[in-house]
Amino acid sequence: MRLLLVEDELDIQDFLKRSLEEAGYQVEAAPDAKTAERLAIDGAFDILIVDLGLPDQDGITLILRLRQLGVRAPVLILSARRSVDDRVRGLEQGGDDYLTKPFALAELLARLRNLLKRNNPAGNEATRLRVLDLELDLLRREASRSGQMLQLTPQEFVLLEYFCRNAGRVVTRSMILDQVWGMRIQPETNVVDVHIYRLRGKVDSAGQQPLIRTLRGVGYVLKDR
């Protein structure tokens, strides 16, 4: 996967580049809009990360310009601004996504994956999900572990489904809030954690290998190995 990272803050560019490369992306970095435009035309990128506050041009202007030049790759917009601009919303509806700084790496990676998946829908959606001995029937909204039916509330099922779709990857609290509850908030209390504890109590019952692991300060991960 070829990724173009347009970010002027060298500190951020540096750690993003390293983390993205660790995650398996081939990263080219550009510190300004001019370089970005040149790189984008030359090399075929699968996905772009564009910071809104570039020294020579507004990030959105750059994206619109690249679209005019025929660059079709999806864009993840990084914004240090406080309010989400209407133009960003417009791009979001056009298939791109945005993330406000500061962000968790896991969330950045998840959003990149989503963008790539949205652009290459892999045929029919599966109706069943399987992670190790955990099995989800998406049509009947039923989950079982080692053949044993789990008594989940609808909300817990959605949460588990989200975990299964991201099995082996870190999901953060704000990702869970965004994807499962549909809101970008930062609660001051441990509301998400309590949901995970409850879910864990049902999925990882006594005597079984625990599947849902907590990575403190980062989020959670559903083991797939």
Binding site for another protein (CB under 8 A): 9, 11-12, 15-16, 18-19, 53, 80-84, 86, 89, 100-105, 155, 177, 181-191, 194-195, 198, 216-218
201, β-bridge pairs: none
Distances (CA, A) of 55 to 17, 107, 204: 19, 26, 50
Cis, peptide link before residue 102, omega less than 30° from 0: yes
Query: At closest approach, how far in Å is the CB of 71 from another protein?
Result: 25
Question: In which residue are the tokens 């914004």 written?
Answer: 79
Determine the Cα–Cα distance for residues 114 and 91; give it in Å rounded to an integer: 15
- Cβ proximity to another protein, 69 vs 185, nearer residue: 185
Q: Tell how strand 148-150 and strand 134-137 pair up.
A: unpaired
- Cβ proximity to another protein, 12 vs 129, nearer residue: 12
Query: At closest approach, how far in Å is the CB of 29 from another protein?
Result: 14
Query: At closest approach, how far in Å is the CB of 90 from another protein?
Result: 11
- Cβ proximity to another protein, 71 vs 87, nearer residue: 87
Amino acid at 100: T
Query: At closest approach, how far in Å is the CB of 85 from another protein?
Result: 8
- Cβ proximity to another protein, 34 vs 53, nearer residue: 53
Query: At closest approach, how far in Å is the CB of 86 from another protein?
Result: 6
- Cβ proximity to another protein, 126 vs 191, nearer residue: 191
Q: What DSSP string runs through 162-218?
A: HHHHTTTSEE-HHHHIIIII------SS-HHHHHHHHHHHHHS-TTSPP-EEEETTT
